[in-house]
Structure 1
Amino acid sequence: MNNFLIRSLVFSIFVLVIVPSAFALDVGYVVRNPSLIDSNDVLIKNILVDKGYEISFLDDVSFDSNNYDLVFVSGEVSSIEGVFDNINTKTFFLSNSAAKRAGLGFSSGKTTDKYVDVDDISQFISDELSLGLLQIYSNTDDLYYLSGCKAADSDSIITTRTSNTKSIILTVDENSMLIDSGCTDRDKSINERNLFFGFGEASSWNSNARDLFEKSLRWLINGGRIDDDGDGYYSIASGGDDCDDSDFDINLGSGDKDKNCVNDTPVIESYSPSSNLNIFENAEQEFQVSVSDDNINDVVISWKINGGIVGTGSSYTFKRAKGSYILKVEVSDGLLSIDRSWTVNVKDSSAFTCSEMNGNICNSNQICEDDLISVSNSNSCCSISCSEKPPEFSNINNLCEVEDNKIEIKFEDVEEDYKIGDKVDLRLRVDNDLDNEEFIVRGYLYDLTKDNVVERIKDEFDIEKNGFEIRDYEFDIDGDLEGDNQYSVYFYVENEDACNSKDVSVDIERDEVDIIIDKFNLDNDKVGCGGLLEVDSRVKNLGTIDNEVYIKIISSKLRINEETEKFDLEEYGKEDEEGRKFLFQVPENIESGEYKIRMEVGYDQRKESMEKGIVVDCKKSSVIEEIIETIRISNDEQVKVGETGEESVGENNFSGIKKFFVFVLVLIVVSSVGVVWWFFRG
């Protein structure tokens, strides 16, 4: 063996053994339930393991992120609040909801497509692409995005093809300013890179999606390609071709054949399945490898079973009778080689547990959307990951029991996040492939937690065969809805021949600060000059925190300007409402007409107001004038009666006594009114 071959073998051993252990990174992977991993997270985890990363699945509860070099956040996790601090942690967000709440963007949403738009090719992640459309899914599937304002100094690299404001890949570099409470509030500077990656359905990824994922990961780790030794060649770890980026003399441009990186050992970049298998007898199972080498044209891939060659190429289809087999793939460039082996047990399925068959046992809240496997320990062993059982909508009478795809229902650009007091705006498209052209549409905003209908709508229209109809609908999000509940929008479309339905989950949250005017009533819509006017008011706290509030009643033309002391309103659901009554006397020296009275509520440096009108009729006597007039008329009548008979003098004397008591009565009435007016004014 010549000296070159010996040196090559020694270097290969160094690369294969020493380098991975020296540069392997610890990755924390936050999921909703570590015992029930989503299939997309499993695929991504396998890619990371193939790259030499150490993966730890973590529950979405508080942990020390300092124990990990970077942290992935699963698309199943809606928030990292209280879990870890992304400001000081390299964070790879697969969840648009968690990224939004962490301050990367203001809003989030989801669409379906297999194409995206390359919006920026000046960055490392996309520098090998061209601007414009790029296919990243093998078939149409869900894409997740951040919309609205973004973190300061962030870069939107990949967007939806319908809008360049909807970012599917968004990078947030060190020292960028995250969004705090709103678009104008960016005061949280991050010390480590953050990245949002919205290709959420890993099972649909093509090679473009895989490349973007790997380059996004490299950007998060080191910001892109790296040339540590300054020789003008980038390291392999950062996407370059320098096999030793710590030595200036070792690179592809070296004239020394021992330092030109030509004869490295082939690398198995990825393989599937990821582990040993138990499979059915005579069932087909495909094995695949993806390899790389400096001289890829010289690489030979061989498949062996129990030592004998059974195939060549990057894939092999295994099919055998009952037994235990060792399947090995060998990758050689003629001088150096690498291999990977699987143990394959071929048996009847009933001999294995569900986990041994790589299945998943579904619980009562889950369903299996593929074949059930007959195994030894369960009757609900699913061949794929179990899916959450769809909502039952038990309080909706119009449910489509047998759905007909000849009526196609689509939700277009549905937002997923709403606040109490918002409206759920929805665009519905219905395509008709039936002869019957008359359709009835029923829509529901449904509280899944309480299992009841919040709001419903009904619509009717005609669609000719092979045509479609697009309608916009909206649901009010009432202030009494619970922000912690789960909600869904359900639509049911039918005609005499068939029906179909579709639902989508919506996230409804309650703002921290949200005070409303719940009552503003006047005791009368018409009052006389000098008359009394009572105002009944009430305010309510719809927010999640306590607030100090004051109420003010204002009418400059009626010379009304009364303000309460500040009082406390507790958060929604506790002592969250309070009322105040006011009593005012309308000035006597004003003109008849309609006047405006405004109720103003102040809280947290904000104001809400409401106006109402009242008619002032100065032809109508004041309260006191009406009493005096009544007494005068009564006395006049007594005098007239007295004048008609012989006892007229006596009657007149008696009426004088009456007048005295009437005068006392008037004084009492006037005093009482004054006391009441003074009390309410105070």
Structure 2
Amino acid sequence: MKKIMFTLLIGMLFIAFAGNVSANGEKVGYIAVNSNLLSSSEVVIRSTLISEGYVVTIIDDAQSFNPDIYDLIIVGEGVRDVSGNVDTKNKKVLFISSLAAQKAGLAVSQGKSSTANTIKINNIANEITSGYTLGTLTVYNSRKEVYYLKTCFPAGAQNLALKSSSLSESVILAVDKGAMLINGSCTRRDIKINERNLFFGLSRADSWNSDARNLFLKSVEWTIDGRINNQPVLDEDIPTLEWQKNTNLTIDLSQYFSDPDGDDLDYDIAQTSNNNGISLVINKQTGMVTFSTIPDYVGEDWIIFKAIDEGNLEVLSNQVTLKVTEIPTPPNTAPIILNEEDLNIELDEDFTPTTFDLTSFESDGEDTGANLVWSVKDKVGNFNVEVTDVTNDVLTFTSIPDATCLSGCGFTLELKDSGNLKDEAHFDVVINPSNAPNLDDIPDITVLSGAFVKVTPSATDPDTPIENLTFAYTYPLNETGEWQVPSNTVGTFTSIVRVTDPEGNFDEEEVKIDVLDGNTPVLSIGNKVIRENEELTFEVSATDPTNDTMNLSATNLPIGATFEDNTGGVGTFSWKPTFNQSGNYQVTFNVKDINNYESSKTITINVLNVEAPPVFSDAKLCTQISDMLDVQIKEPDNNDDISIKNAINVEVDLRNKLDTKQNVDVKAHLYNRDDDESVDDVSDSLNIEKKRKETSKMTLKIPTDADTDSKWVVLVIANGEDKDNVEYCNYEYLSINLEREAHDVMITEVEAMQSIASPGEKVEFGVRVENVGEEDEDVTLEVVNSDLKVNIKGEEFEVESYGNDDSANEKISIDIPENIESGTYDLRFRVYFDDGDSYDEETYQLVVTSSENKNDNDNSDNGNIFINLGKETISLMKETIGLTSYESGDKIPVGTEEGTEKIRLEKNAPKADTIKVIKSYPSSQAVKNSSSWQWKFDDETKNQVMIIIDITLALGIVIVAVGIVMYRRRFFD
């Protein structure tokens, strides 16, 4: 059997009713001459209304009653006057009694034809008579009385049907709001009617044919609603739907259906085959349908959809062919290097390493990612360029010290696909010289007493020939950079060497001259630069003027460093700084010969800081990294600034480098590095074909109490598995910065003191407000619903900035109108802040049910069951005690496709006012298995199912529709 899965939103649950319940359920009060002895025609009228779903109450003409509780008053034949009970000009009234209609101002006089079976349709512009043709229409199966109004009618009334040909004798008269009623004579039409009235003169319902019955029901519907519900329309056939295997197809049914009355349409499946292979998810409210298939399925199927309007009229679509085809293999085409003009390469002398992302410059109809390979060829000029990351297509330039190039430098990029087809592009490179001269490094000098010292510096200047540069020296060097060391002089001397161009730009360097005793051994070593977590190893060498044996040693070694004397005047220094050892270290190396002549030299080892990689102990990292599964975070960017009020959209490219398909589970984390904690995560699953790349899109939520001073990263971990169950794992992370807005206030919770309200009651709500911004705020609460005539704004109160007294629990009350209909109403709660310029909004769904439907615990035999469905409320007979218990992970059966569940109850179960069954489930999905439906629940997170049943007496078996709502924790305890 075809597997058909439905996405059921709040308010879209299947509902089963006990007995026949109409689409609208309007209440009709029928006034009869004798309510205890109805005529055969009145019996037919009552049964006709009930069969169409109206709730009918028979009222005796002599009885006093409240007309406001009815949606429509029908005045039966023989009733002479209803003005004592009904203000007909302000109430929707359908007159079958011509005399009562006359007295209500619909005509000057009235009459009847005792032997007629036809009427004459006079106006087809009104929806009651639309679809008929002008002229004679048979309405009775035999000749019976036809009543009519005559002489003149209200200004603005529509004379829809005549007794015969006289326009002054109306059998069906429609009087809409705003018409002017007759006040005693035709010349006085000065009473304005505020609600629709209608006269219907075909009183002999026991002889109605189908046309008479149809005219009566349309007259009732027009009087209540002012319009007639028309069937939805299929505007055009849905074409054959074709898509390739292992992909999805989405269509919008609302593009093919419409409703002449402008009703909102719901959508569903009318028929389909029993074949297996194609599944679908349908949103019944929007009409969005997404088709998917079992893996590698190819074939055809069919389906028929339907559209249903607000009055439950429906129309079917054509039989839609569903065709799933093989994926065609396209011919291989050469790749193309795009946007060559955007790769402008102009650098400055001694530039730092510079990278370019080449992915935006590549295009190929068949290959992507690892199947497209970049390479560099034909380089000309003093610079280095190479593709340093073949996987991620990164081109890197590094400088050659002091090298410049104003013209003639460049290189060629080659892009080759898996079929060895390629494209090439040449790029010019410009390296601009710096303006100041650059003095080359001058090493420190160590000499013996009496030696001759000469410093010969070199320099470059892009603007000045070398012969126009001037060199200057400080003591002990003379003006030519020379010094004859006196024979008895020992010590360390420092000189400054400066080079200057004609414009006065200069560079300078300090040179150190160590003068040792003539018998003292000499060390040869210079300063070092290293990064954290890199290995540093170098040799220290010494020479002795008299070739004596020497011993080498080192003092002030950093933690973890070693020095070994290898003899022969050579020693080895080794060190690998850890991630917390950045800084400058002064290390002294010593040499002493056998005659106790000794010297030392102190060097500086500069350890550059490298940020240590995170540990991620709160996430399940890979035990072994695999290069067969590549992970690249495309969104967000590294070091993106993100407001804590926003969600984080994560987009990840996952590349399968295997020669076979991989099933990949990917999980994204929002991770606090300072606390070493994952504060939110979300998962996705993909099937990635061999040598292909797929993109996963996920959304992470930011906690409102997130510490913006902490270090935050987005961590993505991918675990793959091939057909042989061999596992592959890889991960990537990047840093982000969380920010708080200056002004940012949120409604975090809205709860009512009671879950169900009645007309005329006062309902109190608790509203929790949190300030997640950086500024104190004066805030105001507002609650609005136009149907309930609610528009309330509370008093202003203060909520301090985040981290201080940043939350408040406020209460706000509303009054439910006395005459409001039962239903579910969306209350819009807003909190205004930032001087009223900004607001946050939440919606709360309040269930209102009439007072007679609420359990008053009066031990009566009848009562009600209330089931909150988020959008609808069902009232059933109160004949139940006890409720089947379901645990987390259970499947809750919902019966057949009509959506009912039979629950057998214990007759001796204890009596209770209200039973609330609350269980924790995160999500649900209706799944069709053979001929029944089941609700499947996971058991990982915190959303809840709530079923509320009012109970007074156990009487056996009742049919219950299970209602499911996403329920927050209670605000009031």
Same fold (TM over 0.5): no
Structure with greater helix share of residues:
1
* TM-score of the superposed pair, with normalisation by structure 2: 0.31
* TM-score of the superposed pair, with normalisation by structure 1: 0.42
Structure with greater strand share of residues:
2
Structure label with greater radius of gyration: 2
